[in-house]
A and B are shown apart, each in its own frame.
Chain A
Amino acid sequence: MQPFTYAPVADAAGAAARALQGASFIAGGTDMLQLLQEGVAQPAELADINRLPLQGITEDADGAIRIGALTRLQDAADDARLREAFPVVTEALDLTASPMVRHMATVGGNLLQRTRCLYFRDVSTPCNKRLPGSGCSALDGENRHNAILGGSEHCIAVQPSDLPVALISVDAEVQIQHADGAERWVPVEDFHRLPGDTPQIETVLRQGDVILGLRIPAHARGRRSHYVKVRDRASFSWALASAAVALRLDEGGRVTEARIAVGGVATKPWRLPRVEQELLGVRLDRDRARLAAVWAAEGAVTRSGNAFKQPLLQRTVERAIIEAGELA
C-alpha cells in the first residue's frame, strides 16, 4: 500500500475540485479498500465523499425516481416506492453481494466497481487494464469469469455490477457534475465503455467528475420487470450471467415495449436490442421466449474457460423473459 493523504470533503463542488487534482474518491469503500490493499489502486489522495448530501431516494412530481449517489444499496433495496415502480432494480439489489456489503456500498460506487478479473486484482501478473501495454493474462488464462461479449484483444474483463444491468432495462440516467460546475446526464446504457485498446478507461467520466445520482424516468413505470442472476453459490457472489427484463404488454398480451440487459458476460452492462426486437409485437409464450433468447449470445467470442457462458446466457435470458411474463 502506497502512502496517501486522506481528505474528507463536504460538497460536490469540493469533491470535484479534489478529483481534478487527481484525488480518488472513497464512498462505501467496499471496492476501494480491496484495491488499495492489493496495490491495484495507488492514489496520492483519497477524498472521502461520505458527507456529501447525496443520500436518499426521492420521487419527482412526474413520477420519476431519483437515487442519490451515496444511497446505500440496502437503503435502496428497502425503498417501497422503488420496489413498487421498478421491481427489477430492487431485485437486482437484493441479489447483490451480502447484507453486510449492501449496508456499506453506495449506488454511485456500484456503477464504478472495478472488474473481478483475477489478473487485474493480482499485481504480480500482466494486465492491460491495470498496467496498459503489459498484456492480457486472461486471454489464455483462468478466464472462467471473463466476458464473451464486448471484449477486445486487449481485455475481456467483465464489468461485474448488477445494478446498472437492471437500470438499463428501465432507461435510467446518471447525473454527473464536473469541477467546472457543469452538470450532465448520461444514460446508464452509455455510461460504461468498451475496452477496445484502452481497457484502463472504463466509463465516460472525466477527471474532475463526481456522480450525483441516478434518475429512473416516469415513462419506464408500468413495465413488467424482473432480474435473474446465476452464480456459483446461492448468495454473495458475482453473476456468471444475469438478465434484467422489462416488458410492457398490451391488453391482448402482446409485447409493446421491451428492454433487456445482461450482466456477468460482457465488458459492460450489455443491452440486447436484437432480443428486444424479437419480442416486440408478439404474444409471449415459452417458445417465443426461447427463440428470442437464442439471440442473446449473438457475437459472443468464447475462450477456454468461459464457453459455458454462451448457453448459460441464452437460458438466463429465456428464464428472465418467462418469469417476467409470468409464463411459468
Chain B
Amino acid sequence: MSRFARLCQTSIGAKQVMAVTGLLLFGFVIGHLLGNLLVFAGRDSLNGYAHKLRDLGALLWVVRVVLLVVFLAHVGSALRLWRLNRAARPEPYAVEAHLVTTYAGRTIVMSGLLILAYVVYHLMHFTLGATNPEYLKLMDPKGLPDVYRMMVLGFSNAAVSGVYIVAMILLGFHLSHGLTSFFQTVGLNHPAYNPCFKRVGPVAGVVIAIGYISIPLAVLAGLVK
C-alpha cells in the first residue's frame, strides 16, 4: 500500500490517478445523463427508474462511496499537481504566447473547480434537500418519490436553470480536454488512432453538454411540465 501511495505521489503516477478517476467520472456523467433523459419519456419512466435506483439499497451506498472516493482522488490529485505546476514557474513571462494549447486545456483547473462547486450545490438542491426540503416530500399518484415534479419545479426557476446550464457548459469544456488527455496519459498514442483520440474529447464534451442542457431548456420552454 505504501508503494502504491508513493507511486501516486510521482508526477506520472498522479496523472494516472487523474486519468483513471476521470474516466470513471466520465462513465458516471454518461450514466447520469441517460437516466435524466428519461424525463422526456414521461413521469412514470423517470420516477420508476429513480425508484429502482433507490431499491438497490446497500449497493447504492457502495456506488455512492466509490464515487465519492473517486471524485476526491481526482480533485485531490488535481489540486496537488496544480500547486506544483504553479511553483514550477515562479517568475512569469512578460509576454505570454502559445502555439497550440486550447482554451479548454488552459482552463481545465478552473472548469474543474467550478464543477466541484456546482456538484456541492446540486447535491444540496436535489439529493439532500438542503435548499428545498419540500422536494423530498413530493409523491406521484403511484406513491413513488416524484423526481419528475422535482426536476420541473427546480428548472422552472430561470436562475436555477441558468446556473445549471453554465455548469454543464463548463463540464463540456472540461471533458473536451480531459477525455482527449486521458488517452495520452495512459499511453495510448498511435498515428492510426490519434485523430480519433483528438476528436473524441471535444465531441463528447459537446454531446454531453447539449444532452444535459436540453432538460432545463425543455422545462423553460414548457415542453416538459
Interaction A to B: no
A residues lining the B interface (CB < 8 Å)? none
B residues lining the A interface (CB < 8 Å)? none
